[in-house]
Chain A
Amino acid sequence: MLKIYGSVMSRASRNIWAAEECAAPYELVSLDFRKGEHKQPAYLAINPAGKMPSIVDGDVVMAESLAINAFIAQKYGKGKLWPADEKGQAKCLQWTLWAAAELEPVAYGRLREVLFKKEDERDHKLLAELAERGKPIVGVLDAVLQDTPFICGSQFTLADLNVACVMEYMVRSNFDISPWPKTAAWYKACAGRLGNMKVQEMRAQAMKVAA
């Protein structure tokens, strides 16, 4: 069975979302990074870099959240998250790398300022620069979404999931996506999916426990 190591507050949330979408049976092994659980020998045996998330599934041991989702989609989501045709599969690979290479540096840069710093400590110049850099990137996605509701066409796939979970950083860091109406509608459709609602529920629960 698929075991996901990490916290629902971390990038592991992306993998929980994917597992939920595929209705794949999985076990979440919660690691609390504030307690340094990801630096304990038991976890370092799975991921020597001590980063979250990781998965173990049979003899498969792997890291890198977006790559893990490609694995989950291929194993548990054939014909759904992982499209049946070569063309759709190519798009899933392309947009997974695009999310990592193009969107995440900007999105994570913004999230870090907003999430880990108090309002008066934030580097507003950096936030504005990242917002400027983000605009043409969101524009690339928006162009693709002009004709179809989802990236590969009419169906929600891994491409949407991996891009949407990074786009969430943009939204959470108050980047206004409304000037790109197609992207805004797409994001709403992705974020509103049951798989993601479940993740949000788990997060709310984790925050309640922490508080």
Chain B
Amino acid sequence: MITLYGKAASRTSRNLWALEELGIAYKHVPFDYLKGDTKMAEYLTINPAGKVPALVDDDVVMTESLGMNLYIAHNYGIGTLWPEGKAARAKCIQWTLWAATELEPPAVGRLIEFNFKKEHERDQKNIDELAEHTKWPLNTLDAALQRSTYLAGAMFTIADLNVAAVCEYLTRTKFDLTPWPAANRWVSECLARPANQKVNAMKMAA
């Protein structure tokens, strides 16, 4: 059984979402990096870098939230989060890396400005630059979603989950997605899925 480490209000939420989508049994250890849980010896044997999330699944010990989601999908979600067919699987890997390299840097930059700083501490020049850097990836995403309902075809897969989980940083920081209607509709739909709603409730409860 998978044991997932990290509190819901962290990148761990991405993995909680994937596990909830699949409806498989898992154990959640909500270590809180703000309380120093992740720097305890117990956790450092799992992830020497002291970051969350991490997962343990028998002899598999793994970090990197988006990589973990590929693992979860690949091993527990064949035919659902991990689609049948080479072309769709290739898209899952592609969009996962795209989320990490193209979208996450500006999205997490916004999150830092809006959620980790007080209003008077915010760097408006940085916020404006980040908004510019967000437009290009959104153009790419919107174009893809004009061609198909979901990123790897007609079905919701790990590609959608991994990209939507990063898009959530944009919606949470009130980034206006309306100029990208296909992406906007898709983000709303993905984030409204019951599995993600459950994760949101876990975030609030913690």
Contact = CB atoms under 8 A, between A and B. Distances in A.
Interface stretch (B25-33, B92-100, B176-184): B92-100
Interface residues of B, number: 36
B75 A62 contact: no
Interface string B69-90: 0110011000000000011011
A105 B97 contact: no
B66 interface: yes
Contacts of B144: 48
A71 B90 contact: yes
B63 A100 contact: no
A94 interface: yes
Interface in A65-97: 66-68, 70-71, 75, 86-87, 89-91, 93-97
Nearest to A101: B100
Specify the main secondary structure of chain B where it touches its partner: helix
B86 A59 contact: yes
A210 interface: no
Contact of B94 (A62, A91, A105): A62
A64 B91 CA distance: 10
B90 A62 contact: yes
A140 interface: yes
Contacts of A49: 136, 139-140, 143
Contacts of B91: 62
A61 interface: yes
Contacts of B59: 87
Interface of B: 48-49, 57, 59-60, 62-68, 70-71, 74-75, 86-87, 89-91, 93-98, 100-101, 104-105, 136, 139-140, 143-144
10 contacts: A49-B140, A60-B86, A64-B93, A64-B95, A70-B93, A87-B60, A93-B71, A95-B64, A97-B67, A101-B101
